[in-house]
Copies of this chain bind each other. A is one copy, B any other.
Amino acid sequence: MRFFSDNAAAVCPQVLEALVAVNRVDTAYDGDEWSQRLDGAFSDLFGKPVRALWVSTGTAANCLGLATLCPPHGAILCHEVAHIEVDEAGAPGFFTHGAKLALLPGEGAKVSPEAVEEACERVRDDVHQVQPAALSITNASEYGLSYRPDEVAALGEVAKRRGLGFHMDGARFANAIAFTGASPADMTWRAGVDVMSFGFVKNGGMSAEALIFFDPAKAEAVPRLRKRAGHLLSKGRYLAAQILAMLSDDLWLTNARAANAAATELARAAGNRLIYPVEANELFVRMTSEEAAAILAQGFDFYDWGPGEVRFVTSWDQDMDDVARLAAAIAAL
């Protein structure tokens, strides 16, 4: 019974069907009709004209986006456990040609406006110090917390005042929207976000993520950057089709709600063992190593997350009987 990562989940049937549906001769790269539909589909979703490109990983989406916001000699402010800092093998440094990540503290992997201000204040405005150029947040955060639109807007306000481009890593954006009930627009561009990675792979997709620019003019160079990074697949329609399938009938939200519901059930069982409130599909739970071993022995697969902590992640296809069993096992500790 797998609770170690939503990356390990299967692909949802509608996505597989979409692959079959586009399996015919068509224009290569992103000239096909499905790829050409992405701008429109996301413009509808966000209620404004946006530019949307498919890529095949969240790392590519994040780093292509950041490369448009931060010059090689600039810094990107992010949380000290942000995925771009701890889990992308230095990809931001690669795509930006050496920009720095300047790390911010913050409870639950969330960044506060104050932390951004302080980080900016600490930098002398001279040529010796790397000047902040962008802010990146992850929503839902690496500890499963969801920013609310007003929190994003407060960060957006600081970013604007400080001249920082504003990026959102939305690997689990669907879970954040499902949890908060906020509109995609309020959570992003209305709150000042310039660029986002909109994740699908953790939510039932196979190999397609979307990179969204809320100001299409800022995206002009991105198709070149994507090609130059080896990320322009020659049969792009198979990526576009996945994304369109996920957007169709709000499948992305349906899947995220299922994952969140599983996490919520586990959260009830975990009670005050929870290190953070559960606001998406991840749980961080206090547990001695003996307790963790006991859970493991019952066939549940999950990650240790440092001394006395474990992480459970639920996904769109989680078997609710497994969830009930795990909830019972945790409650019984």
The 8 Å CB contact of A229, one of B27, B94, B207, B233, is B94
Residues of B within 8 A of A161 (CB): none
The yes or no answer to A57 lying at the interface (CB within 8 A) is: yes
Q: Please tell me if the beta carbons of B97 and A97 are within 8 angstroms of each other in the complex.
A: yes
The minimal Cβ–Cβ distance linking A17 to chain B, given in whole angstroms, is: 10
Q: How far is the CA of A96 from the CA of B238 in the complex (A)?
A: 29
Asked if B7 and A25 sit within 8 Å, CB to CB, the answer is no
Which of B87, B89, B221, B317 makes the CB contact (< 8 A) with A224? Answer: B89
Are the C-beta atoms of A206 and B238 separated by less than 8 Å? yes
Flag if A29 contacts B7 (CB, 8 Å): yes
Which residues of B lie under 8 Å from residue A88 when comparing CB positions?
A: 128, 227-228, 230
A221 vs B90: C-alpha distance when bound (angstroms): 13
A11 part of interface (Cβ distance < 8 Å): yes
- Is A148 close to B, CB under 8 A? no
B5, B19, B20, B224: the one contacting A28 at CB < 8 Å is B5
A residues 75-101 in Cβ contact with B at 8 Å:
75, 86-91, 93-101
Please count how many residues in chain A sit with their CB below 8 Å of the partner chain's CB atoms: 71
A183 at the interface (CB under 8 A from B): no
Closest to A32 in B: B8
Q: Are A230 and B59 interface neighbours, CB within 8 A? A: yes
**Is B224 a contact of A127 with CB atoms below 8 Å?**
yes
Contact residues in B for A64 (Cβ distance below 8 Å) = 230
Cβ-defined contact, B129 with A91, below 8 A: no
Q: Are B8 and A26 in contact (CB under 8 A)?
A: yes
- In the complex, the answer to whether A130 meets B90 with C-beta atoms within 8 Å is yes
Q: How far, in angstroms, from A2 to B93 measured CA to CA in the complex? A: 39
CB contact between A57 and one of B63, B98, B100, B231 (< 8 Å): that residue: B231
Q: Is the CB of B234 within 8 A of A58?
A: yes
A86→B127 contact, CB < 8 A:
no
Which of B94, B96, B234 meets A201, CB within 8 Å?
B234
Asked if A190 is an interface residue, CB under 8 A from chain B, the answer is no
Chain B residues near A90 (CB-CB < 8 A):
72-73, 75, 98-100, 130, 228
A 122-137 binary contact with B (CB < 8 Å = 1; else 0): 0000011111000000
* Interface: A292 (CB within 8 A): no
- Interface residues of A, Cβ cutoff 8 Å to B: 2, 5, 7-11, 16, 19-20, 23-29, 55-61, 63-64, 71-73, 75, 86-91, 93-101, 127-131, 201-202, 206-207, 221, 223-235, 238-239, 317
Interchain residue pairs A-B with the least CB separation, the first 4: A93-B98, A60-B230, A7-B28, A59-B230
